[in-house]
Structure formats: C-alpha cells, structure tokens
Structure 1
Amino acid sequence: MKALSIEVDVAVIGGGLGGVAAALAVLRSGRTVLLSDEFSWLGGQLTSQAVPPDEHKWVEQFGVTSSYRALREGIRQYYRDFYPLTPEARDNARLNPGAGLVSKLCHEPRVAVAVIDQMLAPYRSSGRLQVLQPYVPVAAERHEHVVSSVLLRNIENGHEVEVSAPYVLDATETGALLPLSSTDYVTGSESNAEYGEPSAPNTADPRNVQAVTWCFAFDVAPGDNTIDRPADYDYWHSYEPTFWGDRLLSFTAPNPRTLTPELRTMFVNPPLVEGRDADQSLSGGDTDLWMFRRIAARSTFIEGSYESDIVIANWPMLDYLDDSILDNDDVARHLEGARQLALSYFYWLQTEAPRPDGGFGWPGLRLRGDVLGTADGLAQAPYIRESRRIKALTTIVEQDISVAARGSDGPARFDKSVGVGMYRIDLHPSVGGDNYIDVECSPFEIPLGALIPRETINLLAASKNIGTTHITNGAYRLHPVEWNIGESAGELAAFCLETGHTPRDVWADDDLTEQFQARLEASGIEIHWPEILGY
C-alpha cells in the first residue's frame, strides 16, 4: 500500500507528556500539528507506562507550567465529577485519590488519559490536530541538516504515513528520531574526564543506562487468583545483583541514598495513616510497597465502592538489569525479559513472599489489567528512564545543579532559561552494574540550548532526549520537567515559524532570546524560580 502523505506545520513524534505539551503549545499559536504515538493511550510515563507523577514539594504552589497545572487540576476535577468520593475527599482542594507516598496526586492512569483527550479535543475537532496511533517512526529524510519528512508505520497493520513539516519534534521515549535523522546523539554514561562530573565513572560506557521497569497494577480479591508460573521464573528466582543484599525476588533493595540494603514491608489494605504527606525530599517513601504508589485508596471513596485499594508496582525489585534497550539488536528479547521479571515478581508475591503474619504468599492478589488498558495486567509500555540524548548547544552537567558541587541549595540559573524543574539527581541501578546514584539537587532551570541539536536545523528535543549527561538525566527525566521541555520546544517551533528564524538564531541572539522568553512567560511557563527562603 502506498504511504499516505500529510503536510503540517509541526510534526510531533511521540505522544508522551513532552509530546502532548509540545502539541498543545503549537496548537495555541494557530498552527497545524501531527502527533503520533506507539500506544493506545497518550501521556507516556503518566498513562501507558503507569507511573504516578514524580514531582517536587512545591508543585501545588509554583515550579510548573500553567498547562501542567491544568492537567493536574483536570485530574482532580474528573474524580469529583465521576467518582464516588467521600464528602471530605470531594472538598479537599489537594485531593490525592490514592493517598500514595510517591506523589501528592496518585491517580488511575485512565483518568489522566481522559483529561489529556479533553485538552486536545477542540483541536482534533477543528482538524488542526491529527493524531496517529499506534504508529512508530521507521525512517526520516534529511537534506543538508534539515529533516524534510518522517515515515511512520502502523504497528498493527503495517500502513505507512509520510509526514512533512518545517519543524519536527522528537518526543519519543527513546530518542528514536535521532538515529533515523542522522542527528548526533549519545547514550549511556560519560567519563569523568569529559565533563568533570563528580559522580561520573572513570570510563565512558554507551551501554550503561538506567534499568527499564515494566509496571503493573494489582489489588486483592476473594479466592485464588494465582497466575500461571512465568516461563522465566527460575531464572529470576535465583537472580541476585552483587550490591542488592538479597535476591531480586525479595522485599530487600538498596536504600537509594545510603546504598545500604534495606528490608521493605508490604501490608495489604492497611488503614489510611492520617497526616502522611508525599514529600520525596524528606524520604523516598518506598519503605512500604503497598502505600508507595497506591493509586486508589478505599478510604477516599464512599464505603463499599472499593473492596480493595489499587496499587501500582514500580519498585526497585522490578528494575531490569540485564542489558540496554538502546541501539541493541535484540531489543525484543530484553523487553520480554523485563515483562518476565514483572510477572515473576507478582507470582512470587502470590506464592512465596513472607507475610507479616508469618505465612507465605498472597494468592488473593489480583492483576488489574482493566485499570491499565491491557489483558495481562502489565502496563502497555515499559517505564523508560533514560533516552538517547542529543549532542546539544548546551549540555547540562552535574556541577550546574548539584548542591554539593555548587556549594548552594539556591536555584541553579541559566542565562537562557526556558523553564524550571526540581528533583534529586536520581539514577536507578544501571545495566552496567552501578548501584543507585542519588545526589541532592538545587531547583534548576531548563536551558534553551539543551533543546537544540548542534547540527540538525529543524529538529528539536521534546522529552528526555535533551542535552543532559547520564548523571543529570536523573533530575530532568520526571513528569513536570518532561512536560515543560515539550511545551517550550513547541513554543520554540511556533516562534520560529512566525519570525522566520531558526532555533539556533534564537539561542545565539540575546534579543531574540528575550522575545522568546517573554512569549513563554505570557503562555504561563515559569522560566525562573521565585526568590523565597527555604530552598
């Protein structure tokens, strides 16, 4: 079948949080957009990957874009409109449906999907936004540093679409457009000699990336809900990383901040602990696995509405450490390995895990694929923490944002900032054998040059593929930062279309930079942290 040809102002490849935010930014300017994604749900790590939002402690007050705040408030309003909340929960301005400890807003992924669809709906109806799912990029045409078109393929029926646009944004989870478009990029860990980063290894390793995790949702129900014994259960049952302190199939994992192996707990359907606030700056929150990423707490809803809490499993024990999925000829095998690890851990929970009462296994635990839009209970997609990264005009290094390296916990400034973010430098164990790398981080800004490749003229990074290092990726990879990156990239594409300048022009000319920053602020994008006490 001949490929269908589509021409738009901006092609956004990848429908995660960065891609959605980028599309919205371009659409606000009156331009046309094609948005594509591999999975049936837009929203990436928040939805198809089933990861509740990792956010900083000031998220309810400042430090995110106005459109990201609209997403968060839209999720809360959706619960108020359609869920049987208790009167107390309904009146709570800071409703946290799951009362989880990872986030101030733990919620079902499907609710975020509904709100994202609402945000995009008027543009789809008008025809200015075309959304292609489930499509992946398979080729790109490039001439003299300009990407002229991207070829997309439907993963279900093989149908192909060629999209042409003056600007192309790579918002994929892995930076998939970078090799296809011959855009220079890096993967894995840089050496200490390259940027002088205190936490970098002595030797660079392009394969040394953070583990991927295949999350799942579960609850508990009457009867025996034990799944079939996974094919690779014996392999994972004996798997023991050297630094772990136990087998992977256990309740033990390293403390990210001390690296000391610690025993976690899991109390099934515990009573709600009043006054517990989700603040990862104080504690990682994962001492009890059930409460850590709970997305539906029974006590939030009218009595009898939920027989059990619903929990997302995104725990250290699910981190797949065997190999990278970037630039790997055997990606399918390693993705299946991550799935097998997740299923094996759940089977272990059902059959062998030590219970607080002295018994073993919870056969009543039940996978909830219906909550995630799948048949098997696992998320639609793996949680990918680390992408290919562009060789950018500006590369963010540890010394830019680390409290220890800077000698200050005040905001880390960049002259040409296009947004803000805050999170610890949080690197999960890597396939190269590294334990956690956890570094206290200052509130930071997103430099304009980190979105712009050194050579490719009309391609912008709009997700985790910006100009970070392996180390600083650990701070710039979380939900509100990815959204801000995508939104600013979309605004930059729209600004360049309006003015006739290239992204490099905007970066190189101080007057153009200031004009662009004024545009961002007018769109509700904070480009600097406020001057407050208490950082």
Structure 2
Amino acid sequence: MKRRNFIGSIAAGSTVLSSTSIVTGGGIVESHSKIEKSKASLKADVVIAGGGLGGCAAALGALRNNLKVILLEETDWIGGQLSQQGVPPDEHQWIETHGATQLYRDFRQAVRQYYKRNYPLTESAKGREYLNPGDGSVSRLCHEPRVTVAVLTDMLASYISSGKLTLLLEHKVVSAQVTGNKVASVDAIDKKDGKGITLNAPYFVDATELGDLLPLTGTEFVTGTESKSETKELHAPEKGNPGNNQAFTVCFAVDYQPGEDHVIQRPAEYDFWKNFIPKMNPAWSGKLLDLSYSNPKTLEPKQLGFHPEGISTGDKLNLWNYRKIISKDNFLPGTYNGDITIVNWPQNDYFLGDLVGANEKEFKKHFERGKQLSLSLLYWLQTEAPRPDGGKGWPGIRLRKDVMGTEDGLAKYPYVRESRRIKAVFTIKEEHVGAANRALITGKESGNTAAEFYDSVGIGYYHIDLHPSTGGDNYIDFASLPFQIPLGALLPVRMENVLPANKNIGTTHITNGCYRLHPVEWSIGEAVGLLVKYASEKKVLPRVVRENKELLKEFQEFVRREGIETEWR
C-alpha cells in the first residue's frame, strides 16, 4: 500500500468532493467539479482545521480530556505564527507569571528546556531562568521556528501514539456537507497527491489562518472594516469597507558573514519595489525600501537604524536586533559565526492585495508578490542600504533557507494579521478594551479597566496594533487595557457545531488588533477545546453553556481547573 501522509484508520466507500463547493445553511448548492470516489474516511470527536497555535491548543485541551481529535495542517509544519510564518512571539510584559494559560507557559518553558538540553549554551545562558535564545527586543522568547515544531510535536506525541490524535499534514479542507445549522462532515485533500478524505465529527473547529471553514460551512462572517455608525468605535472609519484588511508579511531569516559575498540574484520586481512609495492616508514617510517609516503611534516620519553586527545605532532601533532568534553570545564560542534574525519589518509588509477571501489563484499571486517584496528588501540590504561608514550595502548578509525549511528561504505561509471573523453571539468592540474609548465611557482620565465579561473564558493583553491596510490606511496603533475573552465571542450566531480558534472570533477590525497575537490565539484555542469536551459531556449545544447560568458557572470552574485564567490579578 502506498504510504499516505496521515496517521489513523481508513474506512472504505466514502464520497469526496475534489474541490470547493458553495455551501449555505441548507447544504451544498453548487459543486465546481465532479464527485470522485475515495476510500479514505475518518471519524473523531472533533475535527480541527489549522495546526497553528490556536489549533494545537484546541487539540491539546480536547485530547487531555480523552476526546479523539483529527488535526489538519495545510503546510508540513505545525505551529502557525511561530513556525510556518516565522514570527517570534508578541507577548505582554507579565507573560512569565500570568496573563496566559498554564499550558502556554508550559510550552514556553519547554522551548527553553529544548535549548538547554540540546544546544551548547554558555554557562551564563544555561543558568538563566528566563533564557531568551535570540535576545531579540520584540520578545522574551525569540527562538527558531524549528524549535516550535519540535516542542509542539513532543507535546502531541503520546496522543498520536495512542491513536487519540490523527495529524494530517499538508491537508486542506475544500468542502463541507451541511444540514440545517450543523456540519455533518468536511472533505479535505492531500496537497501532495490530490487525494481526498472525508472527516466526520460532532464538532468542527476553524483554526485556519484566514477563517477558511466559515464560507465552506455557510457560517456567517464579516471581513474588513466596520463603519463608525455600525460599531460606534472611536477609531472606526466613517465608511466601512469589507475589502480593507491589514497587510500580510512574508518573513525570512538571515545571518551575517563579514567579508563574504552572499548577494542573491536581483529579484524580478526589484525596480518596482525599490521605487515604490506607499499611497497611505495619512501619508507614508517616503519610499518603502528605506530606513524611514511612519511612526505607528504618531504617523510622523521616524528613522530606523540597521547594522548586521548588532552594533548600537544610537537612539534609533536597530532592526537587526528587533527579531533576533539566535544571539551567538548565548552559545559556546565557535557555535555560530554570527547572529540570526527574522526580517518582519515595516519594509516588507505587503498591502497591494488582500488574502482574506481570495481564491486560490489570487492567493498565489499575492503570496508570490509578497515574496518578491521580501527578496527585494534583502537585495536592497545587501547592495544599497546605507552604512555608517558612508558606503552602501552589506553583501555578507546571508539568506538562511534552512531556518524556514524552504527552497526559496522564505516562510512557508504568509504572516496573516487579519481573517474572516464570525458573526458572533457577542462582538468585542473598542468600547470594551480601548483605553481612550473606555475613558470616554467611564468619564475617568486614568485607572480604567477593560470591560468585565460575565462569560469570560480567558484573558490576554496587547496594544491595538493595526498595520497598513489594503484600503490605504496607515498604522492604527493605540493603547488598550488587559482584557478578558468572552465566551459569546466564540459562538457563531447560527451554526451549532462550528467554533473559531484563531483570529476569526467575534471581534471588529479594530479589536482584532489586540486579540490576534500568539498567547491570545492559544487561549482562544484551548478554551474552545475544553468547550467541545464540556458541551459533549453535558449533551448540550455550546451556546446553551453560555445561556444557562449554572452550566456557565460550572464550565468556568472547569477551565480554571484546567489552568486557564479568567480574570486579571
């Protein structure tokens, strides 16, 4: 038998759709390709589409409560933002002690232990309780994407061995069978050979990066910006635009080898990107490929620094140090010739096309153009970036293809900041979490807290950080308050067995800016995994858990016992 890329038993005789079908609440309306017969079919207690942080957390929450899980991942790496997208964790200042789930902190500790166990660290680094392998300034735990994959794989290993978890790498859901308000099954394809598989379960979790299951299952959703008249949010535009979504970024890793020449072939679109001036409102500071950009908070021109040996650039942020994932000084002499850093900077944010709602052809086009932008930035750094000595370019900057695990050296998947969002039972708005908006509501100039949600199933914090958008908005960046995650934002208005576990919860375009980061996505996913367990055990719909006061109280006690904080302390 030919070896397939999934683990688990296979049943015979199921019918699979080989491409996406248009689905409404009443079922399949139209299919864009003929039905083919497949022998592959699997069943579990819950199917989770998307192996990012939310998907893995949802799986772990369900698995440790003895549910059987099928977890699909479109790429060959689990870990989402931290791995396939190459983004070190964006976290709040209290992350080491509170403000995240215990399981997320266990994951972080396991990353540190992985380095201490497997790498030749200096004695100083080995003895550091809060080791930061890269000493990057963006995070207290800047580390390599591959380490995320290794640690998450270890966390899932026993469940795979016991048969409780079926992990389908390089698989994508392409259609769904829906009856009324429930999904009966979904069909996925193996991206390597195009073969189909039908997945059956009482519950389906959308942990994809773009909310892919929502249109396939007929789950109501929104995209882009809402108008001020719709949400009454302080920072909302006067006119909404469903096609106005944040930029995505194609990240890559580099190191620096002084005296060597690692200049890449001139990218095909280099002339375009070298001269590209973003058309933003308010205006951008100049060319995109420059060390000047718009200050996210004030939108005034701001200078950045750059030196690939980590040398101080005065009062300017040295971009090299910002997302540095390996600091050679943390390792024994001779281990690394130089530091390794991730390039996820203002200069490679791509906003000339929208991935949210894009078809396969459009997705590929914009992903490729995003890659051209990132390669153009690399070539510019190697050949034209200003040096402190008055020269131009750093030819010793080397693209580290091995770090991202790809032939072209670029991330396996775009770093996505915005997704389709469910129309939820409850929508989180700026009035609930925005510092200035809360001040207007309370009438207090200071001492405000975020809204208290009676149905809280988690907590998180990040400032509201919206990157330049496909609709021409410049940065929207302002203070938020430590917030709760309300259960109502995880419940679709109509569908009964579809749940979100990524950036697709019930936020607005504005509040997505603080609910979209790594530890919050994890908290959302873990809460959803526990919700599936609780609702299944009680034999009630997830929405009934929120509607029934006794059930809600019991569920909140359950998640707290499982290590999820529901209030800030």
Fold match by TM threshold 0.5: yes
CA drift of 1:271 comes to 5.5
What is the 5 A alignment of 1:320-399? Answer: 320-329=350-359, 330-399=362-431
Paired letter, 1:514: K
What is the 5 A alignment of 1:266-281? Answer: 266-270=306-310
Paired letter, 1:450: A
Counterpart position of 2:155: 119
- In the alignment, does 2:299 pair up with 1:235? no
Cα deviation per residue 1:44-86 (whole Å; 9 max; x = unaligned)? 0011000000000000110010100010000000000001111
The separation in 2 between residues aligned to 1:331 and 1:307, in whole angstroms, is 37
Cα deviation per residue 1:329-369 (whole Å; 9 max; x = unaligned)? 42221111111100111011111111111110111111111
What is the 5 A alignment of 1:466-481? Answer: 466-481=505-520
Paired letter, 1:22: A
Paired letter, 2:412: Q
Counterpart position of 1:318: 348
What is the 5 A alignment of 1:86-101? Answer: 86-101=122-137
Paired letter, 2:337: E
Normalised by the length of structure 1, the TM-score is 0.95
The separation in 2 between residues aligned to 1:487 and 1:231, in whole angstroms, is 43
The separation in 1 between residues aligned to 2:511 and 2:365, in whole angstroms, is 28
Paired letter, 1:251: L
The separation in 2 between residues aligned to 1:370 and 1:362, in whole angstroms, is 21
**Matched residue of 1:223: which SS?**
coil
Out of 515, 537, 540, which is 1:501 matched to? 540
Contact 1:98 1:105 in 2 (8 A): yes
- In the alignment, does 2:67 pair up with 1:31? yes
Counterpart position of 2:107: 71
Counterpart position of 2:453: 414
The separation in 2 between residues aligned to 1:155 and 1:251, in whole angstroms, is 39
The separation in 2 between residues aligned to 1:76 and 1:167, in whole angstroms, is 34
CA change 1:272–1:122 in 2 (3 A) is farther
**Matched residue of 2:309: which SS?**
coil
Counterpart position of 2:297: 257
Structure 1 residues without counterparts, runs of 5 or longer: 274-284, 531-535
Paired letter, 1:462: A
Paired letter, 1:372: M
Contact 1:36 1:135 in 2 (8 A): yes
Contact 1:99 1:297 in 2 (8 A): yes
CA change 1:497–1:286 in 2 (3 A) is farther
Paired letter, 1:234: D
**Matched residue of 1:25: which SS?**
helix
The separation in 2 between residues aligned to 1:51 and 1:302, in whole angstroms, is 25
Paired letter, 1:20: C
CA change 1:12–1:286 in 2 (3 A) is farther
Cα deviation per residue 1:82-134 (whole Å; 9 max; x = unaligned)? 01111011000010110100001111111111110010000000000000010
Counterpart position of 1:296: 326
Counterpart position of 1:528: 567
What is the 5 A alignment of 1:414-493? Answer: 414-493=453-532
Range that drifts further, 149-158 or 520-529: 149-158
Structure 2 residues without counterparts, runs of 5 or longer: 1-36, 440-446
Counterpart position of 2:254: 218
Contact 1:286 1:292 in 2 (8 A): no
The separation in 2 between residues aligned to 1:371 and 1:241, in whole angstroms, is 30
Q: How many residues align?
A: 519
Paired letter, 2:176: A
Runs of 4+ aligned structure 1 residues displaced above 4 Å come to none
What is the 5 A alignment of 1:84-233? Answer: 84-221=120-257, 222-233=259-270
The separation in 2 between residues aligned to 1:520 and 1:72, in whole angstroms, is 20
The separation in 2 between residues aligned to 1:290 and 1:503, in whole angstroms, is 46
Contact 2:438 2:450 in 1 (8 A): no
Paired letter, 1:24: L
Contact 2:53 2:525 in 1 (8 A): yes
The separation in 2 between residues aligned to 1:313 and 1:413, in whole angstroms, is 37
CA drift of 1:478 comes to 0.2
The separation in 2 between residues aligned to 1:409 and 1:255, in whole angstroms, is 26
The separation in 1 between residues aligned to 2:298 and 2:450, in whole angstroms, is 25
CA drift of 1:270 comes to 2.4
Contact 1:216 1:379 in 2 (8 A): yes
The separation in 1 between residues aligned to 2:156 and 2:542, in whole angstroms, is 26
Among all aligned residue pairs of Structure 1 and Structure 2, give the percentage whose two residues are the same amino acid: 50
Paired letter, 2:402: D
The separation in 1 between residues aligned to 2:273 and 2:39, in whole angstroms, is 43
The separation in 2 between residues aligned to 1:400 and 1:286, in whole angstroms, is 34
The separation in 2 between residues aligned to 1:46 and 1:123, in whole angstroms, is 22
**Matched residue of 1:163: which SS?**
strand
Cα deviation per residue 1:226-254 (whole Å; 9 max; x = unaligned)? 11111111111111013221111111111
The separation in 2 between residues aligned to 1:3 and 1:161, in whole angstroms, is 8
- In the alignment, does 2:558 pair up with 1:519? yes
What is the 5 A alignment of 1:40-59? Answer: 40-59=76-95
**Matched residue of 2:172: which SS?**
strand
Contact 2:53 2:81 in 1 (8 A): yes
Counterpart position of 2:24: none
CA drift of 1:441 comes to 0.5
Paired letter, 1:483: W
CA change 1:468–1:286 in 2 (3 A) is farther
**Matched residue of 1:414: which SS?**
coil
Paired letter, 1:233: Y
Cα deviation per residue 1:407-462 (whole Å; 9 max; x = unaligned)? 24434321100000000010001010001111201000000010110000000011
The separation in 2 between residues aligned to 1:14 and 1:304, in whole angstroms, is 39
The separation in 2 between residues aligned to 1:195 and 1:430, in whole angstroms, is 19
Contact 1:167 1:458 in 2 (8 A): yes
The separation in 2 between residues aligned to 1:447 and 1:286, in whole angstroms, is 39
Range that drifts further, 79-88 or 411-420: 411-420
Normalised by the length of structure 2, the TM-score is 0.90
Paired letter, 1:291: N
Range that drifts further, 194-203 or 264-273: 264-273
